[in-house]
Structure 1
Amino acid sequence: MTREMTENTKQRILEAAAHEFASKGFDGARVDEIARSAGVNKALIYYYYKNKEELLTILFLETRDAVVALMKSGIMQNIDYTKPDEITRMISAFLDVLEERQDVIRVMLMETAKRAPINKLVFDILADIIALMFSIAEDQHVPVDSNKSRAMITEFFTGIMPVLDYVAYHEIWMERFSVPEETLRAQFLESFLSTHFAFMFTNKGES
């Protein structure tokens, strides 16, 4: 098997695993079903990966790497944070990257709510992303909350989690309430800017 064929096979396995985890949760997911969906022998999965935990870990880390790559691409550095249109374009770019990994985001939300070892990895990933956000903001002299504890809480609960929720549930919302995708995204972004970003830019004290 050539290197390209190997990488393609591993990618099919990861995509099948993401769908299986998102559909049934980590505990309910079965390697047999992942193998069937990927069109490979079950033994081949264990040849490439130790177990389900490694599959899930790789999916989470690949998602983190995609977000970090976007953050370091200049998208956060080359905008005027006083202009809502530019902030909207930036958040839309993050939504695009995350929506390509919707199944991973869905299982991430499910597993984070559990008191299991895997949720430590998820929180470590989210903490790393938040820290990088703050580092870039400081480099750009963006006015953010100088109370670091409050800033972390705000970024997690009013920034990251609403974005992940949107990615996980927007298709269900569109179907349930017959809302076009373009309209839903526009209204989400408008609400996001008027709540999360408004708070982050106006609460900069130490209290």
Structure 2
Amino acid sequence: MKRTDRSRAQILDAADAAFRQSGFDGTSVEEIATRAGLTRKTVYNLFRSKEDIALSLIARAEAADTGYRARIAANEDAVALMEMVLIDSAHWCIANPALARLALAPRERPSAHPPPDRPSFQGLVRDTVVLGQQQGRIRQDEPAGFMALILLAVYGQAMLSALPGATVSEAEIRKIVRLVVEGIGAGN
């Protein structure tokens, strides 16, 4: 591993620990640098800001989707897989509330197209919707990207509401998936 990559990893690990202990607002770049064993200047040479560090941590968590991708490739039941993805995400959100708030309420509005240059949670959800469409479990008359955004909007709001008290049950997540997949109106 190159020195720069090693320093970035040290900063992300230190920030992860600091955010869990003190929250995003309660953590300074100086504290992250100290925990990483680096200078504040080194941190700013590798990241533009504390928010940039947090967004990189979120991206690192999003990149850990290979197990889900293998399940998509194995053509597992898309609805059950969607439940698993969102339940696992809910556990991550509750364990990382400071980062979860940034991930669930980003400054930039998400587009119907996930970032093509890196793995993303939105892309994983979209690809799971595509699988469900191929299996005939999810309606095919709307684009998968748009449907993923709707599901993530409902899920994101539920998680933001749950974060202060850190309560969300697996049954609630399953209900969100069921309601979005089945729809709330009468079918024609």
How far residue 87 of structure 1 moved from its aligned partner, in angstroms, is 6.7
User: Which of 47, 63, 70 is the equivalent residue of 1:49?
Assistant: 47
> Take 1:156 and 1:61, find their aligned partners in 2: how far apart are those partners?
16
> Take 2:138 and 2:127, find their aligned partners in 1: how far apart are those partners?
15
Say whether residues 1:77 and 2:78 are aligned partners.
no
Unaligned stretches of 5+ in structure 2?
115-119
Call closer, same or farther: CA 1:51–1:205 in 2, change over 3 Å. same
Percent identity (aligned):
12
TM-score normalised by structure 2 residue count: 0.63
> Take 2:186 and 2:140, find their aligned partners in 1: how far apart are those partners?
6
Partner of 1:107: 102
User: Which of 40, 62, 68 is the equivalent residue of 2:38?
Assistant: 40
Say whether residues 1:12 and 2:10 are aligned partners.
yes
Deviations 1:167-202 (A, max 9, x none): x45xx54xxxxxxxxxx66xx1112323x2332332
Instruction: Give the number of aligned pairs.
Output: 176
Partner of 1:198: 178
TM-score normalised by structure 1 residue count: 0.58
Call closer, same or farther: CA 1:15–1:162 in 2, change over 3 Å. farther
How far residue 138 of structure 1 moved from its aligned partner, in angstroms, is 1.7
How far residue 126 of structure 1 moved from its aligned partner, in angstroms, is 6.0
Asked if 2 retains the 8 angstrom alpha-carbon contact of 1:13 and 1:34, the reply is: yes
Superposed counterparts of 1:1-207, under 5 Å: 3=1, 7-18=5-16, 19-20=18-19, 23-25=23-25, 29-67=27-65, 69-74=66-71, 77-79=75-77, 81=79, 89=84, 91-95=86-90, 103-109=98-104, 112=106, 119-120=107-108, 127-144=122-139, 146-147=141-142, 151-152=147-148, 154-163=150-159, 168-169=163-164, 172-173=165-166, 188-194=169-175, 196-203=176-183
- Look up the equivalent residue of 2:154 and give its one-letter code: T
RMSD across aligned positions (CA) = 4.2
Unaligned stretches of 5+ in structure 1?
113-118, 174-183
Asked if 1 retains the 8 angstrom alpha-carbon contact of 2:83 and 2:177, the reply is: no
How far residue 74 of structure 1 moved from its aligned partner, in angstroms, is 0.8
- Look up the equivalent residue of 1:56 and give its one-letter code: A
Deviations 1:124-174 (A, max 9, x none): 5565444333222223332347455984564023234435665x45xx54x
